[in-house]
């Protein structure tokens, strides 16, 4: 068994930030990632809203974060599938297919991913027309015709916010009514740039190298309509990566890990940070903030409130 001060699960912005703080404070830290690390940031081409970097590339930001963590002595192991974990005792144990590791504290930063439509052409245009984050990518579609897929609060609110940039926004929704709050529905209905295709589903995204259109089918009439658009925001929900922790750590009804504002979970010495936890705004900045708080509170858990340790 390899022993550490802190085990971090997930090498995205939250986990890497926690790794930077803890290893800089001379803690023995291991980050385990089920993939190659870097997190969702690596899925995005351009990142324009992370302070201090201007407009940078997702993979570049992620690799700089990794480099910084490793530079302070943080160990990162990739392609680690968790087999089991024991998180309740003082010595916390995580077993993966490649080894067994123990820590005095654990930070769960396994993130999540946006829910996709699951149609073949969706993958082709991810990052070249299709986005899952209006806050991140809205201004790349200035003066363009775009669609928003979805009918809940985020789809409605983001459609309204996208009208700051886009020439037109068509909301494509599968039902004949929206699931959002009345004020969100009203704001969308009153916006002159927004039009609606109700009881409609996206059948295909069209284009050679970049997105140029979408084929939408009306569920009631079976009519297919092609729209010329250059952007599609798919805002149909979010899937937290919390499955391995179900029954181990307290989750809410949306499968997000419940924490207090210090990132503490219901288990002593176990913290959660970033997109995996219950919160409203999922951004790199908020993940980094969570990672910082989780790391500092993990330190406090191990040593008490000793500021000289940080």
Assess whether 137 carries a catalytic annotation.
yes
280 and 158 in contact (C-beta within 8 Å)?
A: no
Number of Cβ within 10 Å of residue 302's Cβ equals 17
Q: Which of 18, 29, 109, 234 binds ligand FAD (CB under 6 A)?
A: 109
Give me 162's structure tokens. 């996208």
Residues 33, 282, 106, CA angle at the centre, nearest 5°?
A: 40
Q: Which of 27, 40, 170, 259 binds ligand FAD (CB under 6 A)?
A: 40
Applying CB under 6 A, does 287 fall inside the site for ligand FAD? yes
Applying CB under 6 A, does 44 fall inside the site for ligand FAD? yes
Instruction: Please work out the total of residues on this chain that contact ligand FAD, with binding judged by CB under 6 A.
Output: 38
Helical H segments across 31-152, by residue range:
58-71, 120-124, 134-137
In angstroms, the Cα distances linking 35 to 3, 10, 42, 210, 281 are 22, 9, 11, 28, 24
* Catalytic residue (one of 33, 74, 136, 290): 136
Residue 107: CB minimum distance to ligand FAD, A: 10
* Catalytic residue (one of 133, 145, 204, 255): 133
Phi, psi dihedral angles at 218 (to 5 degrees): -80, 120
CB of 180 or CB of 244, closer to ligand FAD: 244
Assess whether 74 carries a catalytic annotation.
no
Which of 177, 180, 138 has the alpha carbon at shortest distance from 161?
138
Distance CA 129, CA 230 (A): 6
* Catalytic residue (one of 5, 33, 137, 275): 137
In angstroms, the Cα distances linking 277 to 21, 98, 113, 211 are 20, 27, 13, 33
Residue 75: CB minimum distance to ligand FAD, A: 14
CB of 104 or CB of 282, closer to ligand FAD: 282
195 and 204 in contact (C-beta within 8 Å)?
A: no
Stretch that binds ligand FAD, among 12-20, 146-154, 175-183, 193-201 (CB under 6 A): 12-20
Give me 91's structure tokens. 């010595």
Residue 68: CB minimum distance to ligand FAD, A: 14
Q: Which of 34, 121, 289, 292 binds ligand FAD (CB under 6 A)?
A: 34
Stretch that binds ligand FAD, among 110-118, 153-161, 182-190, 259-267 (CB under 6 A): 110-118
Kindly report the three-state secondary structure assignment for every residue of 160-174.
Answer: HHHCCCCCEEEEECC
CB of 140 or CB of 196, closer to ligand FAD: 140
Q: Which of 249, 284, 294, 296 binds ligand FAD (CB under 6 A)?
A: 284
Give me 215's structure tokens. 């084929």
Residue with tokens 């009519």: 223
Q: Which residues bind ligand FAD (CB under 6 A)?
A: 9-15, 32-35, 37-41, 43-44, 47, 49, 82, 109-112, 114, 132-133, 136, 241, 244, 274-275, 282-285, 287
Residues with catalytic annotation?
A: 133, 136-137
């Amino acid at each position: 068994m390899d022993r550490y001060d802190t085990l971090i699960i997930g090498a995205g912005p939250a986990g890497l930030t926690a790794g930077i703080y803890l290893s800089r404070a001379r803690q023995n830290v291991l980050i385990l990632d089920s993939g190659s690390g870097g997190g969702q940031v690596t899925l995005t081409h351009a990142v324009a809203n992370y302070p201090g970097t201007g407009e940078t590339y997702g993979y570049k930001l992620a690799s700089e974060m990794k480099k910084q963590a490793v530079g302070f002595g943080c160990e990162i192991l990739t392609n680690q599938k968790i087999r089991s974990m024991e998180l309740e005792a003082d010595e916390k144990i995580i077993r993966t297919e490649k080894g067994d590791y123990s820590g005095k504290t654990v930070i769960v930063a396994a993130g999540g991913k946006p829910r996709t439509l699951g149609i073949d052409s969706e993958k082709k245009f991810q990052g070249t027309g299709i986005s899952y984050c209006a806050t991140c990518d809205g201004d790349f579609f200035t003066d363009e015709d775009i669609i928003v897929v979805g009918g809940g609060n985020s789809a409605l609110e983001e459609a309204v916010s996208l009208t700051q940039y886009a020439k037109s926004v068509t909301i494509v929704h599968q039902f004949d009514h929206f699931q959002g709050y009345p004020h969100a529905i009203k704001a969308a209905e009153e916006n002159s740039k927004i039009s609606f295709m109700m009881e409609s589903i996206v059948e295909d995204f069209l284009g050679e190298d970049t997105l140029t259109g979408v084929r939408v089918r009306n569920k009631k009439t079976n009519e297919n309509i092609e729209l010329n658009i250059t952007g599609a925001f798919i805002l149909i929900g979010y899937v937290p990566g919390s499955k391995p922790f179900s029954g181990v750590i307290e989750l809410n009804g949306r499968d997000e890990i419940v924490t207090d504002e210090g990132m503490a979970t219901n288990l002593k010495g176990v913290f959660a940070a970033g997109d995996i936890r219950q919160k409203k705004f999922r951004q790199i900045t908020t993940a980094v903030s969570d990672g910082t708080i989780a790391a500092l509170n993990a330190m406090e858990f191990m040593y008490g409130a000793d500021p000289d340790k940080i």
